Each structure stands twice: as C-alpha cells, then as structure tokens.
Amino acid sequence: MDWLAEESEKVINNRKPWKVVIVDDDLEVHKATKLAMKSFEFMGRQLEFISAYSGSDARKLLSEHQDIAVILLDVVMETDDAGLKLVNYIRTELGNKDTRIVLRTGQAGLAPEGEVIKNYDIDGYKAKTEITIDSLHHLFYIALRSYRDIARLDSYKNALKALLGSVLKVDRFGDIESFSTNLLSYLTDVLHAYEAELIVNKRKASVINIRSTNKTVINAQIDNASTIDMQSFISEVIKQKALVYEGNFAGIYYKYDDVEAVVVLEVDNELDRNAIELVEIFTEHVCALINKLKEGGDNAF
C-alpha cells in the first residue's frame, strides 16, 4: 500500500492553470499531448487542456473562454485549410492578439512552412512527425513566456487606468479624516486591476503610514489580526528606507519632500517591479496632496 502513502504526500496546487486548447480531428493526438504534458508546470501553474475536434468546435470554445494561453492547432481538419482560417478568425474577427497559436500538421506539403510563417500571426509551425516530448516542452515554455509578458502589459495598463481613477477620487477629499479612510480601498483597487491576469500572487493594501516632519499624519489600516508587530515593522522600514519583507508582509518606503510614507502590503510572493512602481506612483500623489493640504493650512497639521 506504499503508493497510497505517496499519493497523500503530494502537494495540492491551487494556482490557476494555464488554459490550452487542442484543436485536432485526431483523438489520439489529444491523448498523446495530454499524456506528454501531464507533469508540466510553468511559474508553478499546471496546464488545463480543452479539446476541440474541428474549426467550428474551436470557434464556439473561443467565445466561451477569454483567457486561453495557447492553442495547438491542426491545419487540415474539415477542410485542407481549416486551421489557417481559424487563425484569421482569432486574430481578425475576434481581435485576439494575446493567445499564442502553434500550428501542427501531418500534411506539411499542403501548407508550406515558409509561406505560413510569413502570412499568418502564429508562434510556431511543427510537423507532427517532428514532435517529441522535449520539443513539446520547449514549445510550451516559449509560448507561455510570451503570453505571460503580454498579460503583464495588459494588466499594467489596466492598473494605470485604475490608478488614474483612484487619484481623481482621492482629490475630491478636502480633509485628512475622509482622505485617510478611503486610501486603502483605492490602492487595493489598483492592485486588483494589476493582478487581473496574474492571479497567482494575491496582494492587498494593509497599512498606509505617512509622516511629515516626524509627526504621523495618516495611519490608515484594515482591521485584521496581524502576525507581526505592525508599528515596529513600519519603524524598521523607515529606518532602512527600503523595501522590507517580514512574514507575509512587504513594506515599501517612499519619500516626497519632507513627507515620508510606508505602504504595507499583504503578499504571498515577492513584489515585482511593476507592482512596486504602481504603489510608488500612488504614494507620490498622496504625499503631494498632503503637502498641498499643509500649504492650505489644514488644521490636521
């Protein structure tokens, strides 16, 4: 019964898998691809395979799933050029420029590689006889890296829109109290927009602590039982004047004129440069607004 013990020790992966569509009229191709890639992971995420057996089946699937990372597409199905027509449908009619498409064919002579690569927006062209497990893994690493980078750019663009919206909302508040109580929710909205396509790493704003000439101006925080001494952590971030991690919290330091700010995020992984930049842009605007309120003589100062 040793195999039962081994099975119970497996770590369950709760991360969202990469969606992959196999479009091929040969059932054995679907089975062989799934078997070859059953243990494959990229960025800690496995593959979720969805099968279509014709170009028309694939069109229906594409209308139901908006987050397909890779399509493995047969050229010859119900017609000799069904796969090529589907490529044009995806790129032109659907306007989907993100999903990576790799053509596979058992009849390469019907669609010469040079001509297909030149005329169609695809990421690879393989004869089925040339495909091995190693080459399939190689193909997926390249395709998923490309899709990941495109998704990051889209998410960053969405986050910038959310950032602009939050800045406009924040500007409506003329007093520190109402200003403070809304900061965390607006910053969380920005982070959620950034994480829309990259839900592997969840982040939420936990604390914003802002000091002006050593006097605390804002100490907005969510009501949660933190696993660390938050005030000591904030002091350490100010002391180091840098990004600091402790437990599942990250502290980001930012200084604007004589205003020092620490933003604490609850994270499950290290922050990437784009996420830090979004927080810094948000914090810079908040600090500038505080200086503006100071100049206006707000009695909170």
Per-residue pLDDT of the chain (301 residues; tens, 9 = 90+): 444 444 434 444 456 889 999 999 999 999 999 999 999 999 888 999 999 999 999 999 998 888 899 999 998 898 888 899 999 999 999 999 999 999 988 775 566 667 787 888 888 888 888 888 998 999 999 999 999 888 878 877 878 887 777 777 766 665 666 676 677 778 877 877 776 544 445 567 778 887 776 677 777 777 655 678 888 999 999 999 999 999 888 899 998 888 888 989 888 777 888 888 888 888 888 888 777 766 665 544 4
Range of the domain at 214: 156-295
Residue 143 lies in a domain: no
Residue 189 lies in a domain: yes
164 and 275, same structural domain?
yes
Q: What is the pTM of this model?
A: 0.63
Q: Do the strands 124-127 and 100-105 form a parallel or antiparallel pair, or are they unpaired? A: parallel
Nearest to 131 by CA among 108, 110, 150, 112: 108
164 and 286, same structural domain?
yes
CA max distance for the chain: 79
CATH number at 176 reads: 3.30.450.40
Q: Do the strands 249-256 and 259-266 form a parallel or antiparallel pair, or are they unpaired? A: antiparallel
67 and 178, same structural domain?
no
Final residue before a domain boundary, out of 61, 96, 131? 131
Side chain identity, residue 92: T
Final residue before a domain boundary, out of 114, 131, 148? 131
Q: How many domains does the chain have?
A: 2
Q: Round to whole Å and give the CA distance between 181 and 222.
A: 10
Final residue before a domain boundary, out of 131, 147, 178? 131
Residue 59 lies in a domain: yes
123 and 8, same structural domain?
yes
Residue 141 lies in a domain: no
278 and 173, same structural domain?
yes
178 and 125, same structural domain?
no
Residue 51 lies in a domain: yes
